[in-house]
Structure 1
Amino acid sequence: MGTPADSEKARSRLEEAAREVFAEHGYQGATVREICRRAGQNPSSINYHFGTKEDLYRKILRQVGPPEDAPPVALIEEASPRQRLRAFIAYFLAETLGGEEQPWKARVMAHEFAAPTPLLDELVQGAIRPHFEMLHATVAELLGVAGDRTAPIDQLVTDHAFGVVSQVVFYRHSRPVVERVARRRYGATDMERLADHIARAVLAAIAADRRRVAACTRQRRAEAEEVAG
């Protein structure tokens, strides 16, 4: 009978092997047999240590996604909306470009996006949505429409929030092409520069829409006053 230390080593080997296999084949293509073979464990070990293949994948997927606690800097209440936006972008870039030593994460997510499993809903609800809601609220403040959840305004805020995300995600999913076109590697040393660049572009777009929204609001008020008068 193994010791607790032996059990922990076996569990660690299984997790490491699972990362490799899920990164190569995705959830559907990965097999318990192959994970156990690479880990040097018998086929029943996943059931013993994790429960099921799905339970093991859930654990790996949680390691891939953002942590369920929000970015500390972005939660500082006294920070301005601009500071919170910049902090969010920097945090997200760090998650994207700072994980060069763990390329398996991007491959696992690529498989998950191509063939979503039911566990993607758990990841979105537990980790991704809270971050997005924080970003959404920050963008709403910058647009001057905080608290306005009417459909057109909410969609505008959502579009800008996804615009932030898309500019960062681009460097993760298009990185091989980006580096070949730019003829240089992108990594942790680029994060501050890219965070500033993305923040400037986003703030300029938001400022333009803020002026447009304000003008429309003034026009609606004037029309309402004219009708009332």
Structure 2
Amino acid sequence: MTDLKTKAEKTRERLLTAASRIFAEKGYQDSTIAEICEQAQAKFTSVNYHFGDKQTLYLEAWRHAFNQELGQHPPDGGVSQQAPVEQRLAGRIKSLIRRVADNNSYSFAIIHKEMAQSTRLLADILEKEINPQRQQMFGLLRECLGQDASEQQLQYCHVSIMGQCFQLLRLKQMQQDRPQRTLPSDLSDIGAFVKHVVDFSLDGIHAIRSQTLPQRIQV
């Protein structure tokens, strides 16, 4: 690899890192190429060279952040595929919460900003990158709930788990926006939060499964 190519790749990496951080903090509309280049210590023209425009940089910055986070916190939570299904679901919940809680994670914060002020730029890339993760979660929930569970029960369980995880993101953003404000939740003990969400979710799943099993026996 030539020195010139190495330098170009390092510049691209710095731009992606700076862009993901700034987009997460300010959203697409309020972020500027000038600020991104300043933080990346890169020339303004380097964005055009590597990405072409701000929209492409936005998409690639999100993808970069998302893949970095999956590398740091693998989606299976380090649980073997041969483990019991409840352990595998717990591992996936743990990974999701760890990614949300990590101060160097930006993909969820970018999505949060996108929900508040939509650009519609992320729709395709989110479907492509996140849908496989969602389908794996659905598969685990189906296995936990049993084949007699309805599609509505499956969807509600998924929403309940994701809602708990993203509540942490909301509290985290509130703490960043208003550092002097006392929040109703202590974010320092992420391990305790993971345990609560796992226990709460599994207990709920057990309750739903116990309601569906008798119906099958009576048929």
TM-score tier after normalising by the smaller chain length: 0.7 to 0.9
Whether the 8 Å CA contact 1:86–1:199 is kept in 2: the answer is yes
Tell me the residue number matched to 2:88: 84
Distance in 2 (CA, whole Å) between partners of 1:83 and 1:27 is 38
Which range moved further: 62-71 or 209-218?
Answer: 62-71
Whether the 8 Å CA contact 2:26–2:113 is kept in 1: the answer is yes
CA deviation map 1:144-187 (0-9, x unaligned): 11xx6xxx811211110121111111112123668824575x24
Tell me the residue number matched to 2:215: 216
Superposed displacement of residue 26, structure 1: 1.7
Distance in 2 (CA, whole Å) between partners of 1:21 and 1:177 is 17
Find 2:182's aligned residue among 176, 180, 183.
180
Which range moved further: 11-20 or 48-57?
Answer: 11-20
Mind listing any 5+ residue stretches in structure 1 that lack a counterpart? Answer: 222-229
Whether the 8 Å CA contact 1:23–1:108 is kept in 2: the answer is yes
Matches within 5 A, 1:96-135: 96-97=100-101, 99-100=102-103, 102=104, 105=107, 107-135=109-137
Whether the 8 Å CA contact 1:26–1:108 is kept in 2: the answer is yes
Tell me the residue number matched to 2:178: none
Whether the 8 Å CA contact 2:15–2:37 is kept in 1: the answer is yes
Superposed displacement of residue 18, structure 1: 2.3
Which range moved further: 87-96 or 102-111?
Answer: 102-111
* Correspondence 1:154 to 2:136: no
* 2:75 match: secondary structure: coil
Tell me the residue number matched to 1:207: 206
Which range moved further: 124-133 or 203-212?
Answer: 124-133
Structure 2: which amino acid aligns with 1:174? L
Whether the 8 Å CA contact 1:17–1:35 is kept in 2: the answer is yes
Structure 2: which amino acid aligns with 1:81? V
CA deviation map 1:53-84 (0-9, x unaligned): 11211111113436399624577331111111
* Correspondence 1:7 to 2:12: no
Using a 3 Å threshold, how does the CA distance of structure 1 residues 17 and 80 change in structure 2: closer, same or farther?
A: closer
Mind listing any 5+ residue stretches in structure 2 that lack a counterpart? Answer: 176-180
Q: State the structure with more CA Rg.
A: 1
Structure 2: which amino acid aligns with 1:86? A
Tell me the residue number matched to 2:194: 195
Using a 3 Å threshold, how does the CA distance of structure 1 residues 36 and 121 change in structure 2: closer, same or farther?
A: same
Matched residues, number? 209
TM-score (norm 2): 0.78
| RMSD over aligned Cα atoms | 3.1
Tell me the residue number matched to 1:32: 33
* 1:77 match: secondary structure: coil
Whether the 8 Å CA contact 1:88–1:135 is kept in 2: the answer is yes
Distance in 2 (CA, whole Å) between partners of 1:22 and 1:93 is 21
Tell me the residue number matched to 1:139: 141
Structure 1: which amino acid aligns with 2:146? G
Structure 1: which amino acid aligns with 2:84? S
Which range moved further: 37-46 or 105-114?
Answer: 37-46
Percent identity over the alignment is: 26
